Amino acid sequence: ELGTPASVPAVRRAMQLLEQAEIIERLRGWDKQAQVRLPDDEQLELRAPLTNDRQRRVLSALVQLGKRARANEFLCSPPQLCASAGLDPARLAPVMRTICKKTEVVYIPPFRGIATRVIQRKLKADRLAELVDFDRLARLRQHELARLQTMISYAESGDCYRNLILEYFGDRYEGVCRRCDNCLADHAQPAAHTAANDQQAVAVIRKILSAVARLERQGSGGGFGRSMVVKLLAGSKSRQLTNRGLDRLPTYGALR
């Protein structure tokens, strides 16, 4: 529903599903290079319903560029395209809009970064269930959760790790390996718990809380994340710290 907040991972996953269903196409920009996709039609120039001479020249130039690239999808330089078609560069954008509208040619002008092209613009939301297999996604989610639970059980188990791995792959081994952490822990002496250990832990916690509090004041309420706290306490020479004067805080390098 529009207006409903969504996390970044949720949006990323939704974009992946829409792309898999061929509803959208995610594009990666090529600096100074346009992306061209021609239909698989040897008679494209003859069948294209173009009446303008400029449009026909540009389409012919695109076809020739595709032949040189030996592909229907290729990159081209807009100045090179204009030179081949004898076209004023200022007229390229409206000419390409008309060609793309009247034919199946896809032309994506140069840009930087990542963009999204909507393929099925008239698709209604209630038809998504026909294009996206939500049942398969639910099964996949349950499978991934089961794998996660297996890993958690492995980490929390007190049994021999080698036996656990062998059992996971359908094999068995009599006895234990006596080499993994769990086997060695069975014969290890428990560490002595002292008041000194508690005092040291409290001192570390106080330093961490002090660093967080100072960063909160510097960042006007939540401007820094965990990585910044770690860098501050470790005395990092990162520009993120030095450019903001954070290397002058009392907690800088407190846990170095």
Domain ranges of the chain: 8-128, 134-185, 203-248
Unique residue bearing structure tokens 């996390």: 7
Rounded mean pLDDT of 81-95?
94
pLDDT, position 189: 52
Indicate whether 178 pLDDT > 90: no
Band (233; pLDDT cuts 50, 70, 90):
confident
Indicate whether 96 pLDDT > 90: yes
Q: Report which of residues 194 and 43 the model is more confident about.
A: 43
Indicate whether 165 pLDDT > 80: yes
| Residues shown for the chain | 256
Q: Which of 15-24, 70-79, 112-121, 245-254 has the lowest mean pLDDT?
A: 112-121
Q: What is the pTM of this model?
A: 0.44
Rounded to an integer, what distance in angstroms lies between the CA atom of residue 64 and that of residue 74? Answer: 12
Q: Which residues contact 181 (CB under 8 A, 6 or more apart)?
A: 161
Indicate whether 220 pLDDT > 70: no
Task: Count Cα atoms within 13 angstroms, Cβ side, for 154.
Answer: 15
pLDDT, position 194: 60
Long-range pairs of 92-97 with CB within 8 A, sequence gap ≥ 24? 92/58, 95/52, 95/54, 95/55, 95/58, 96/58
pLDDT, position 243: 79
Q: Report which of residues 243 and 67 the model is more confident about.
A: 67
Among candidate residues 26, 36, 15, the one with its CA nearest the CA of residue 115: 26
Unique residue bearing structure tokens 């520009």: 239
Rounded mean pLDDT of 24-35?
79
Rounded to an integer, what distance in angstroms lies between the CA atom of residue 67 and that of residue 52? Answer: 23
Task: Count Cα atoms within 13 angstroms, Cβ side, for 52.
Answer: 14
Rounded to an integer, what distance in angstroms lies between the CA atom of residue 247 and that of residue 237? Answer: 8
Among candidate residues 66, 61, 63, 64, the one with its CA nearest the CA of residue 82: 61
Read off the tokens for 77.
Answer: 């330089």
Q: How far is CA 55 from CA 32, 41, 76, 92, 231, in A?
A: 22, 18, 17, 9, 58
pLDDT, position 187: 59
pLDDT, position 221: 45
Among candidate residues 136, 107, 95, the one with its CA nearest the CA of residue 39: 107
